[in-house]
Copies of this chain bind each other. A is one copy, B any other.
Amino acid sequence: MKIENINIPLMISGNLIENINLNDNYYRMRIKAPQIARKAKPGQFVMLSMWKNKDPFLKRPFSFYGIESDSGTFDILYKEIGKGTQIMAKSKAGDLVELIGPLGNGFKIPENTNNIAVVARGIGIAALMPLILESKKRGIAIYAFLSAQTGNLLLCSNEINSISEKVFYTTDDGSKGAKGMVTNFLQNVLKEEVIDVVYVCGSKRLTKHIRNLQRKYNFLAFVSLEEHMACGIGACKGCVHKTNDGYKRVCKEGPIFPVEEVIFDD
């Protein structure tokens, strides 16, 4: 009777286990919430709040960065940018975290996938990390294409290095890896070999490049989109993104979309 009964999200309180400042404005948070951790899939997200008063007003969406169903915890990798993330950055182990999740559709890894490329800029790697780990588990070869403003903002590079076939870096200032577009590296790879699926974080610029490469090299490609969200569960129709098939809710029909369906206005 309820259409989405099968995958109904939960609203529960979690417990902050740790909150670590990685560098600059980047933090990693571990939250204990077994009911959510057990259901979470790569590419999905939670709506989260650590505030009781009404400023900030809404919950904030964050991708699962790590999922540990055994210990009933999940991780979030986040960047401090505004009101909500400032409160998160100051929070301490033991604090309560109000959660709604898991939300959204998650990444699809088609059967018989031999290799994938992940393309991310900065914090965009957060959503892709569990996908990388899951792919590794399934024995899929991973090509990682990572970019950032500067070297020390190339997040999780050690971890990704250790489990990927190949990792390519670019930084805007050239402080690590090359300068320039990380998708040029991808193009070089595509010239040499077949990549089954490309996954890209929500960066408009990167996604457009992937779309262009896709037209040429014909691979499956998925993007994880971000839009401002009020509810996260599909009720408010606030988080839409333009697609070939009209406006789609990022929280409900997404956040993962086939790259070829997404339309960026310019």
Contact = CB atoms under 8 A, between A and B. Distances in A.
A54 interface: yes
Interface string A82-125: 01001000000000000000000000000000000000000000
Interface string A125-143: 0000000000000000000
Interface string A53-64: 111100000000
Chain A facing B: main interface SS: loop
Interface string A37-54: 000000000000001111
A55 B51 CA distance: 10
Nearest to A57: B55
Contact of A56 (B51, B53, B83): B53
A54 B54 CA distance: 8
Interface string A72-89: 000000000001001000
A200 B152 CA distance: 62
Contacts of A86: 52
A207 to B, nearest CB: 34
For the complex of A and B, the 3 pairs showing the least CB-CB separation, nearest first, are A55-B55, A53-B55, A54-B55
8 contacts: A51-B53, A52-B86, A53-B53, A53-B55, A53-B56, A53-B83, A54-B55, A55-B55
